[in-house]
């Protein structure tokens, strides 16, 4: 009961939001290891001064103690009043890094130095300085090893400026979430046969029709257009009595494709989702309408960024 109340109180001090302002309420400060060692040195110096009754020893001890107290105030002020905004991150594929773009705003007349950002538990902070009455942008990269819709980890904002004897910090819990799509299988496997098109159409799904995309060259056949003959490159062949070269053009059949989880036989669920992801990306690049069948759930064939995003999100969140 007491632990639950403590947890509720602690979370209330860390609201979930994509905008975070550092105030007296959410800033914390403690001596650093160097600060503790420095404080112990001052204690030893004071004891030696009292024992030897050295006036300059008193002056030095209290001068250094005053500098430490001034440093504590400066360290706390280096963060207090800063405001930061997080831009919603773009989706990534499993195994890639998500990029967080953080904008810092400093309304005070003093520049802020040595501001560090890191994900909670990450030992490598990223540092930035913010000019007086100015702005700064920070890029933070976080690994995303697994697919799904993930909440962003808690961020830690910290500083030890100016002397390093105190550490001030604050916690920030972003509200934004990031979609992590399955990693696409590489190389992309051929599209599956389309059973609803019949046997003849399934064979035609891998065929090509004439179009405008360059596909290579071949020998001349009766009925080819003279405009497709590569005359300059075929002079030597024609002198030898051989057929000239013809530019081969082709375009994919405008056929609707269906990608079904049941068509990805073999392998575990992650391997199947990886193959479906590769098919979705390949069909979008080829501008060939495609639909997605996941058990009883289906997305009708279409094209475009919104359709691709809907299919990839369905794959990312699929639980089987």
Q: Which pLDDT belongs to residue 244? A: 75
The answer to whether residues 109 and 151 touch, using CB atoms and an 8 Å cutoff, is: no
Answer yes or no: pTM beyond 0.75: no
Contact residues for 273 (Cβ-Cβ < 8 A; gap 6+):
147, 182, 315, 318
Bigger pLDDT: 160 vs 208: 160
Chain segment 284-305, per-residue pLDDT in tens: 998 999 999 998 889 999 999 9
Q: Look at residue 211 and tell me whether its pLDDT is greater than 70.
A: no
The answer to whether residues 117 and 156 touch, using CB atoms and an 8 Å cutoff, is: yes
Could you give the CA distance from residue 246 to residue 230 in angstroms, rounded to a whole number? Answer: 6
Q: Which of 57, 76, 82, 81 is nearest to 165 (CA)?
A: 76
Tokens encoding 217: 């060259």
Give me the phi and psi of 170, to 5 degrees please: -150, 155
Could you give the CA distance from residue 140 to residue 65 in angstroms, rounded to a whole number? Answer: 37
Could you give the CA distance from residue 170 to residue 76 in angstroms, rounded to a whole number? Answer: 11
Bigger pLDDT: 212 vs 30: 30
Give me the phi and psi of 78, to 5 degrees please: -65, -25
Name 28's bridge partners. 169
Confidence of residue 264 (pLDDT cuts 50, 70, 90): confident
Chain segment 123-135, per-residue pLDDT in tens: 788 999 999 999 9
Could you give the CA distance from residue 110 to residue 114 in angstroms, rounded to a whole number? Answer: 13
Bigger pLDDT: 258 vs 230: 258
Could you give the CA distance from residue 171 to residue 92 in angstroms, rounded to a whole number? Answer: 25
Give percent of the chain above pLDDT 70. 84
What average pLDDT does this structure show over 299-318?
94
The pLDDT mean for the chain works out to: 85
The answer to whether residues 104 and 139 touch, using CB atoms and an 8 Å cutoff, is: no
Q: Which pLDDT belongs to residue 206? A: 41
Q: Which pLDDT belongs to residue 197? A: 46
Q: The dihedral of CA 51, 54, 55, 60: what is its sign?
A: negative
Region of 266 please: left (phi>0), alpha (psi -120 to 50) or beta. Answer: left
Q: Which pLDDT belongs to residue 221? A: 67
Q: Which pLDDT belongs to residue 45? A: 92
Give me the phi and psi of 233, to 5 degrees please: -80, -10
* CA dist 54 → 57, 247, 279 (Å): 5, 98, 82
Give me the phi and psi of 253, to 5 degrees please: -65, 135
């Amino acid at each position: 009961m007491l632990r639950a109340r403590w947890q509720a109180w602690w979370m209330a001090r860390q609201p979930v939001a994509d905008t975070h302002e550092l105030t007296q309420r959410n800033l914390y400060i403690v001596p650093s290891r160097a600060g503790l060692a420095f404080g112990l040195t001052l204690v030893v110096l004071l004891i030696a001064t009292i024992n030897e009754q050295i006036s300059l020893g008193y002056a030095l001890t209290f001068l250094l103690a005053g500098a430490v107290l001034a440093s504590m105030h400066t360290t706390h002020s280096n963060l207090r009043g800063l405001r930061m905004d997080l831009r919603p991150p773009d989706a990534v594929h499993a195994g890639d890094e998500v990029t967080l773009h953080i904008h810092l705003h400093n309304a005070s007349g003093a520049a802020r130095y040595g501001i560090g950002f890191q994900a909670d538990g990450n030992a490598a902070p990223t540092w930035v300085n913010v000019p007086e009455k100015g702005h700064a942008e920070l890029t933070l990269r976080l690994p995303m090893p697994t697919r799904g819709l993930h909440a962003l980890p808690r961020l830690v904002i910290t500083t030890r400026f100016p002397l390093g004897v105190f550490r001030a910090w604050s916690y920030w819990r972003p509200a934004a979430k990031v979609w992590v799509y399955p990693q696409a299988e590489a190389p992309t496997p051929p599209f599956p046969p389309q059973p609803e098109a019949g046997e003849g159409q399934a064979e035609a799904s891998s065929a090509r029709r004439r179009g405008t995309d360059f596909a290579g060259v071949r020998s001349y056949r009766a009925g080819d257009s003279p405009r497709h003959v590569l005359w300059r490159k075929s002079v030597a062949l024609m002198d030898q009595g051989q057929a000239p070269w013809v530019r081969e053009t082709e375009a994919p059949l405008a056929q609707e494709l269906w990608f079904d989880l049941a068509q990805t036989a073999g392998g575990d669920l992650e391997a199947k989702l990886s193959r479906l992801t590769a098919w979705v990306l390949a069909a979008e690049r080829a501008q060939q309408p495609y639909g997605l069948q996941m058990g009883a759930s289906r997305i009708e064939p279409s094209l475009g960024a919104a359709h691709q995003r809907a299919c990839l999100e369905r794959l990312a969140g699929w639980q089987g």
